[in-house]
Structure formats: C-alpha cells, structure tokens
A and B are shown apart, each in its own frame.
Chain A
Amino acid sequence: MRAGKSRLSTLLFISAVVTLLVTVTTLNQLPAGHELHVGNFMVSLLGKYLTYAILAVAVDLVWGYLGILSLGHAAFFALGGYAMGMYLMRQIGDRGVYGNPDLPDFMVFLNWTELPWYWMGFDSFAFTALMILLVPGLLAFVFGWFAFRSRVNGVYLSIITQAMTYALMLAFFRNEMGFGGNNGLTDFKDLLGFDLRSDDVRLGLFIASGVALIFVYLLCDSILRSRLGKVAIAIRDAEDRTRFLGYRVERVKLALFTLSAMIAGLAGALYVPQVGIINPGEFSPLNSIEVVVWVAIGGRGTLYGAVIGALGVNYAKTWFTGAYPEAWLFALGLLFVLVTLALPKGIAGLRWFPSQGKKEGGT
C-alpha cells in the first residue's frame, strides 16, 4: 500500500542524510594530506547546501502540496538570517573596529547613540531563537491572513509575494532601518561562546543543519501523512470543492504557509553563521525564484525531490561558477525552460523513484 511506500521513502531519506553527516564528519577528521580528506571549506559548503535543502522543503510544502507558488520565500529565509545575524552582531561586543561595547560598528559609523528598540533582546540566544521562528512566522501570518481571506490565488498571489520580498529588499537597503543597510551584518566572531572560525564549530554547524533537515522533513512528512495533508492536496486540486465539504480553506493555507515561513526562517538562521554575512541581497526576488526552480527540478510534491533539487542545483552552481562563470545563468535559464517543458514532475518524477504521497502538478 501507499502508506508503506511513503514510510520507505522517509526511511531511505533519513538514512541518506545520516550517512552523509557521518561520512563527512569522519572524512573531515582525517589528516589534511589524506586523499579522502574533506576540507573545512567543503564542510561549510555542504552545510550551506543543507540549509538550502531546508528552505526547499519549506517551499515544497506550500507549493507542491498546497498549490501556493510563493515567490517570496527568500524573504522569510532572510528574516531568519537577519535575526541570527543580529544575535551574532551583539556577540561581537567591544571587539568591533570601533570597540564600542554597546553599538554595532555600522551604528557607530552612522553616529547613532543608542541601540534601536528592535535590537533589544538579541543579546539572548533564547530570545533570538524565538525571533528566528516568530518574525518570519508573523509576517507570513499577517500576509496570509489578508491574502487567503480575500482569496487571492494563483498568479496574483505569486506576484504579490514577489512584491513583498521586493519591498523588504528596498527597505533593508536603507541605512535608517538599522540593519546595516547595503553591507548588511557581517564580521561575526562567535556563536554561544564558540569561535565561528574554528573548524569544530563549522563541522558542528554542518551537523546541526543536517539534523535540522531531518527534523523538518519528519515534521512535514507527519503533516502530509495526516488527514491535514490530504486536505492540503484536496485544496491544491479543487479548492472550491474542499470548501463545500466544510473545510476552512483559508485557515489550512494560513497554518501551513506560516509553518513554511518559520521553517524558511530556521534555514536562514543556520545559513548565516556558515557564510558569515547577511545582506539585503538575500531578499532579491531572483533568490526566491531560484528556490522555486530547485523544487521544480527536484520534483514538487515530494519532499525528498525538493532536497535533491536544492543539493543538485547548488552543486551545479558551485561547479559552473568555478569552471564557466559565464555559462551559469545560461544553464540555470535552460533548466527553468526544460524542466517546465519536459519534466513537469522533476527528477523525482522519473520512473525509478519510489512514489511518496501524491504527486501531480498543483497548478
């Protein structure tokens, strides 16, 4: 039966991620000269990919299963990232260029005399952790509250999510916003007292990303296997019909959209300490669309498809930008076109993959 297959794919997925974590950790411990040694750069890179995979799962949850094509998920990712960045900025303390114990460097540079109110509390990791989920979640909730209640659908919804992230990008570019303007937040020193530049911490962040991915995957999988998951698919395929069965469609959408935004925020928070910077460029509409293409290529409507897409496309991007930097946008553009034309179910739609839940396009 189907449920059995679904469990099988989940099991396979988790073992694959655990294998990756264990292998990389082991190979990282080998001496640097060893031919199987995985360098710290690679560890951080893989860690970054894993956070992208989490983001892709978040997008797949709403797009693949609920039919909401969000072109603004990078905004939630970036907000989670900024929350983490703010904590890391506070951790710098008086080790900044200006040595001001109360204010981050860029505020000193702008001649600010006191910390803005919205920076309060980011000294505490617990508070930050809460904000990482709450800020993207709240934005998604407010946005979705209006959008879903007034039944903004399909393309219109996609366009206004894009407008949302575009507006946020413009806002974060402003110095007056107090998030470092153009340059964003960077020069982080340590996280929870651990030096961010140390190899062990990098490895730790990589493992944390992997564990977070497993956790997020299990969470989404449990939702999708519950009756709620079936309702989601019902909404994706025939929204009106679901309403006439008595389901409050807008509430289901709102709940899953908000959850998805929180997952994206979590991914962003894990991303920032690994790349060491967060700037308004993360809000750019292009980023959001790239996430969508990971999911499309991997196969929407399957959680592991989203993960495969995120890892595959990003690996390709790294390789291309190293080998043929000119060609990357050509390749990405072609991927967009070819996948939508020839492979609407993505890689996971190819025959030899086990079917997980229900596929088929949500559009």
Chain B
Amino acid sequence: MYCRIAIFRIVALCLFFSSPLVRADVNTGIAELDTIFTDFYEGKGSVRTEALDTLAAMPREDTRELLQGILDGDLMFHRPSDTIVWAVKDGREFTMTSLDRSADLGRDGSRKVKRLKLNNSVRAYIRQLIAGLGLYSSNATERLAAIEALIDTPAAIEQATLDELLSAEQDQTVLHALQSLLTRKQLSSDDPTIRVTAVKALRTDLSSESRAAITRVALDDEDTDVRDAATSVQQYHEQQVKIYGRAETVFFGLSLGSVLVLAAIGLAISFGVMGVINMAHGELIMLGAYCAWAMQQLMPQSIAAALVVSIPIAFIVTGLVGIIIERTVIRFLYGRPLETLLATFGISLILQQLVRTFVSPQNVPVANPEFMSGVLHINGVFSLTLNRLYILAFCLLVFAALVILLKYSRFGLEVRAVSQNRAMARAMGVRSARIDSLTFGLGAGVAGIAGVALSQLTNVGPNLGQAYIVDSFMVVVFGGVGNLWGTLISGMTLGIANKLMEPWAGAILAKILVLVFLIMFIQKRPRGLFPQRGRAVES
C-alpha cells in the first residue's frame, strides 16, 4: 500500500525535525532535486513513487508546491537542457524557471518542452502525499482540507499518527474532522466491537460520506452485529434525510413566500386599504431594484453599504413616484376601479420604457455583498443560503413595521378611517386627499423596498415588474383584500404550496397549478381567506 507508506515516511520525517509545524528553513540544493526528478521522469513503478516519497520527505518549504506542480502539469521536461523546469505557457512559447524558482531559464518553443507522464495511480499517490503534508500545515484550513481528502481512504493513515494528531490539535473544527476520520478508520477495524462503536458514532453524522460508509457496512460487513447496527443507523439516516428534505422544501417555500409577500404587501396597502388597482406596482418594484443598482454604481467600493443605503433611498424614490402618480392620475379615478386599472397599466408601460431608454434595455448587474452570500450549514443534508434567510427576515421586518405603523400611529388611524368611511372621516377633520396620497406613496415605497430585496435574488431588468404583478394580485386576493395578515399568510402558503408541488410537477406546471387553484378559489370565496364582513361590505 503506497499511501500508508507515504504518510508514514512523512510522519517519520516530520517527527525527526521535532516540530511538524515549524519546518526547517533549509533548502537543500537544486542538485538533489534534479536527481529526484530525473528518477521520477525516467523511472517506472516503484522508482517513481520512491522518488516522490523522497521529494515529499525533503525538508523544503516548497515540496507541496512541487508536488502540486507535477499534478497540475506546470512542471515540464525541457529537452535541450534535459532538466525538469517550471513552464508557463506564453503564446506559442513557454517561459521557464528553474525548479527552485531561483533562475530564469528564458523561453523556448512548445515543441521543446514535454509534459510529465502521469497515470491515475500516480496522480492519486501525489494527492495522498499532498494531503499528508497538509496534515502538518500550520494553517488550520489546510489541515482541514487534508483531513477531508483522507475521509474516504481512512486506511491511508496510521492509527498512531491519528492519535498523535488528535492529541496535538487545538482547533475545534479540525479536531471534529479528525474525530470523524477516526470513526471512519474504526469502521475498517478488525475488531467487530470497535466497528459497532464506530457505526453508532456515525449516527449523528448526516454527511453524504458518512451515509455512504454506513450503507457499505450494512451491506458488506462480515459480522452480523455490525451489519444490524449499521442497518438501524441507516434507517435512522434515511428518516432524518426525509425530515430535513421536508424542512428544506418548507424553507424554500418560505423563501419564495417572503418574496411574494414583499412584492404583494405594497399592493395590499393600495388595493386593500384604498381599493385602487395599481397595475404599475410591478414597475415600482422594478424602480426599487434599479435604486439598488444605482447606489452600487455610486459606491462601487462598498457594495454592502450601498445595499443598505439603497433601502431608504428606494423607499423615498418610489414613494415619491407613487405620490406623483396618485396626484396626477389616480385622484381623478376614485370609484372607477376598472379605469384606474387601465390608466395605471399605461403608467407601467411608460415606466418600463423610461428605464429602457435612459438606463438600458438589458439587465443590469447588482452584486451580492459578502454578508449576503454564504451558507448556513445545519447538518450534512440541510443548509440554508444566507441571502434567502436575510430576505425572509427582512420581509418579516417590513411586515411588522407596516402593521405597527397602520395600527398604532396617528397616520395609520387616519388611513383606516378613510378606508372605512371616507365621508365620515372627512367630517371628523381628516384631510382625506392628503391621506390618499400618503397611503398610495406608502404602498409604492414598500414596493421599492421589495425591489431592493428582489435585486439580490433575480435579474434586474425593465421586465422585472411584469413577472410579479400577476402573482402579487393573486396573493392579495387570496389573502383577502384589506387585510395585511391575510397577505402574509397567503403569500407564505402559496410559496410553500408552489415548492411542495415542484418536485413532482416541475416548476412551471406547479405555478400553473397554483394559478388554477387560485382561480377556483376566488370563485368559491370571492373575498379571500380572511374576508372583511358585515353589512357595509355587502353593498
């Protein structure tokens, strides 16, 4: 077994140099390197592996780099000088440097250099060597990578080495990885009781490697007890995978739902509270997304800050656009919902074309800042993408803010008064025209905020809004007009329903089915899930 020998030698050497983490700063001469490489280049079978072993065991800093060079084909044989050199392709020629990078060897044509011959077993051997070197790296990340590379061939590492590493390791993550490596090693132990312990230890590990190992043991192990233990763990794993699969679907559903709620909640205000059908709502979302883009253009150094700043900016910009729309068009059309629908549709066309003409007909790039990209690992089968998690949280935050605003502020009180009985509210001294403008502006501003959030998930282009308008209306109508809580619940329900159907129906068919369901639903309950009831509504 090449591997085991390889690592053993390295370990021996490292131990010899007393501290593995402080490699001797002695660069043995280039001549010695040349011999090794000549052996490697000319030799066969064990000669080559021995040459590699020698190389790996050399107390040089760049052994790892050299091994990687062989693997990646950056080290080549130069015919005229009959040496192995670093070669970088530059046009039709190669720029060469000596093995220890000390001398520039000039350039030569591509015919003069030759790749080193590698076969799969040699490649695997080199990888093992690199991994072995990594085990003693001073960098925790490199150690972790080295351990992970070994996880499927735990036999390559000696028990004693592992124990040694375990006792020396300080970093918790690396220690954890070492322990699972140990468990995996114990799986191939000769003692069935150790194997059973190992199997049981893997019970909590849902990673695909662990599950594969358990499956293998459940099938192949010669000992019945071990097989039984493995089978029970395997069943547990399958059950867990199923549960977490469902959890993941629900998460995706909630994520889609949060997008729907964000897109719809502004509409819920203008449609639900004011009874205004705003077909330009999608375009207001689009404008919000463009605000995020514009801020990033203005502050290219700090994308994250630009994104945060663009939230209030988008709110103000789209809110103002909304107020202008209300003052110039919608004001004249109160009580004529179908006309409002047509006029605002006209506005949506104008807004789209404005963006096409003055920005670009193409999509614009909006970058994801660092803190938005990344994954939250819960376990081996379940992880949450951070951007979706943030948007879910953001959606709930916006929702809560709106509920509080409408429920507890003077403005909210006036909005509700106007929506319930306009004439009475005016008689009580509420300036209903001003409230209308502000309410519509609020709905528009929230659409803008939704646009900023959406810019992190989808392409930002002039057609962004159109994709959401039908969905938004559906969410509002399904939830019951004039009911923010209804919008939240309906958005989340539709999101989850969509994601639940996707696995067996496909994304588009799922969407069609949801639409068909909604059409049927509205016919059954025209006032939505949470209707406003009473005599006043009847008329």
Contacts and interface: CB of A to CB of B under 8 A. Distances in A.
A337 B343 contact: yes
Interface in A296-330: 296, 326, 329-330
Contacts, number: 120
Contacts of B490: none
B477 A156 contact: yes
Contacts of A155: 277, 337-338, 341
Interface of A: 69, 143, 146-147, 149-156, 158-160, 162-164, 166-167, 170-171, 173-174, 285-286, 289, 292-293, 296, 326, 329-330, 332-337, 339-341, 344, 361, 363
B120 interface: no
Given A156-B477, A170-B512, A340 B522 contact: no
Nearest to B279: A289
B349 A333 contact: yes
A296 B342 contact: yes
Contacts of B524: 150
A153 B338 CA distance: 11
Given A152-B523, A329-B353, A336-B343, A174 B477 contact: no
A339 B338 CA distance: 13
Nearest to B277: A155
A336 B346 contact: yes
B522 A156 contact: yes
Given A292-B342, A333-B350, A340 B520 contact: no
Contacts of A147: 523
B470 A333 contact: no
Nearest to B521: A160
Nearest to B507: A170
Given A334-B346, A363-B339, A341 B332 contact: yes
A56 B429 CA distance: 46
Given A167-B512, A333-B349, A341-B332, A363 B523 contact: no
Interface of B: 277, 329, 332-333, 336-343, 345-350, 352-353, 356-357, 466, 470, 473-474, 477, 508-509, 511-512, 515-516, 518-520, 522-524, 526
Contacts of A334: 346, 350
> Interface on chain B toward A: helix, strand, loop, or mixed SS?
helix
Given A330-B353, A337-B343, A341-B332, A363 B338 contact: yes
Contacts of B337: 154-155, 363
Nearest to A342: B332
A336 B522 contact: no
Contacts of A167: 511-512, 515-516, 519
A190 to B, nearest CB: 34
Contacts of B332: 341
B362 to A, nearest CB: 15
A185 to B, nearest CB: 20
A343 B340 CA distance: 14
A306 B357 CA distance: 31
